Structure 1
């Protein structure tokens, strides 16, 4: 990959990673072999391959990745805004896109290149590695995502999809918000282990297991910060109540 404004002469991106929670740790582990990583998170240990720096130093990198909850994004964006360099590429990894990209657009300096991303995997689903996993890129108008897309394809072997933020959130209302809702209900039922099962039950149990360790903040972000999720959730519960009524007749 040729040198670009966000890469060093040797082609390694210089990245400031802000937020080293569960997903930040996963990102750091897979990015460290391919990038010069600096990181900031006062509440989490710094993984191998990441140099601990101040928030200002992390925010001053040519590429800045914000691996923080949607609920904290506004506060973090305001804190880093004075330190963002002209033309820097700022990336978020939230599970919704319209709200985070609006926050970044309204808070960061003019000229900042904003690239919304949604890795469609997490620490559990990527336990065996990220190769072959999917990621969605939602660039701001005028932002060319090709350099980032090439890095993700060639260095991390990810399956890269391009989308606009609204199409992404509409799609995720069913692909993610609905499946997480169903999986959360199954998990909360706390069913005892079954001595024998069907394939369909095993698939439901696997779906519930994959999201069982997700934080409540992530679940709320998926359900409450996607503007298209509430209507689908309403329709789901209406269908469930109608089915319950039919079975009682």
Structure 2
């Protein structure tokens, strides 16, 4: 048998963020992809990645789950019988409490599990991931420290946290950003001439998230257990301001 120079990484999900991960990690891992929506998996430079069945993906050294939160439980039950003892499973979900509860319940006890949330996306990391933030939530096994160290070596700022602490902050950081972006996008084209520096920054924020798939917004606003409270406070205050300004008009 030949000497394997790279560890294998099984990437489940080849959407926009899956492609970003493949681009950034291809030099460091032997990447295999599983996504029923894709017959082939190509990097931006035209290089092809191996597309394999779920049972083969599950036998990789590292398995990355890049799927909608709503699909997490089904996926974990499908890969669980094939996972090798000692392998490492990592998710990249934008919420952490629910997916990590699912992984803890559905994946074998002999598997190390680390929850992550890259705090960037394809638009904001178009020029590379160096300097971007990523949340790391240890769940099972000691190798979260290896994961955190690796992420730092490729230039990311690592924030080690718990699923609960992550979701509490994300309810405001992501919940309000995506909510405001959705409202502004639905209103119509935003002005592009008579703009101020602050409005240009607001437009930039909208541009970064407006093309995210609906599953991302759904997860942020419904799968995060703290989002409803933050969203309610925002709408309550907006309603108070509306009444106040209507009275003054």
Q: TM-score range by the shorter chain?
A: over 0.9
Structural mapping, 1:113-124, within 5 Å = 113-124=112-123
1:62 deviates by 1.7
Question: What is the TM-score normalised by the length of structure 2?
Answer: 0.92
1:50 deviates by 2.4
Q: 2:207 aligns with which of 203, 206, 209?
A: 209
1:193 deviates by 3.1
SS of the counterpart of 1:177? helix
Q: Say if 2:58 and 2:82, in contact at 8 Å, map to a contact too.
A: yes
Q: 2:37 aligns with which of 43, 47, 58?
A: 43
Cross-structure match for 1:26: 20
C-alpha RMSD of matched pairs (Å): 1.5
Q: Which runs of 5+ in 2 are unaligned?
A: none
SS of the counterpart of 1:28? helix
Structural mapping, 1:72-221, within 5 Å = 72-154=71-153, 156-221=154-219
Deviations 1:136-173 (A, max 9, x none): 1101154331211122121x211111111100101101
Q: Say if 1:32 and 1:49, in contact at 8 Å, map to a contact too.
A: no
Question: What is the TM-score normalised by the length of structure 1?
Answer: 0.92
Deviations 1:212-241 (A, max 9, x none): 110111101011000011000001000000
1:204 deviates by 1.0
1:192 deviates by 4.4
- Separation (CA, whole Å) in 1 of partners of 2:217 and 2:199: 23
Q: Say if 1:77 and 1:107, in contact at 8 Å, map to a contact too.
A: yes
- Separation (CA, whole Å) in 2 of partners of 1:192 and 1:219: 21
Deviations 1:16-45 (A, max 9, x none): 111111111111111101111111112123
Deviations 1:69-110 (A, max 9, x none): 101111111110110111211000000000000111111111
Cross-structure match for 1:229: 227
Alignment length, in residue pairs?
240
Q: Say if 2:114 and 2:140, in contact at 8 Å, map to a contact too.
A: no
- Separation (CA, whole Å) in 1 of partners of 2:41 and 2:140: 34
Q: Say if 2:65 and 2:91, in contact at 8 Å, map to a contact too.
A: yes
Q: Which runs of 5+ in 1 are unaligned?
A: 1-7
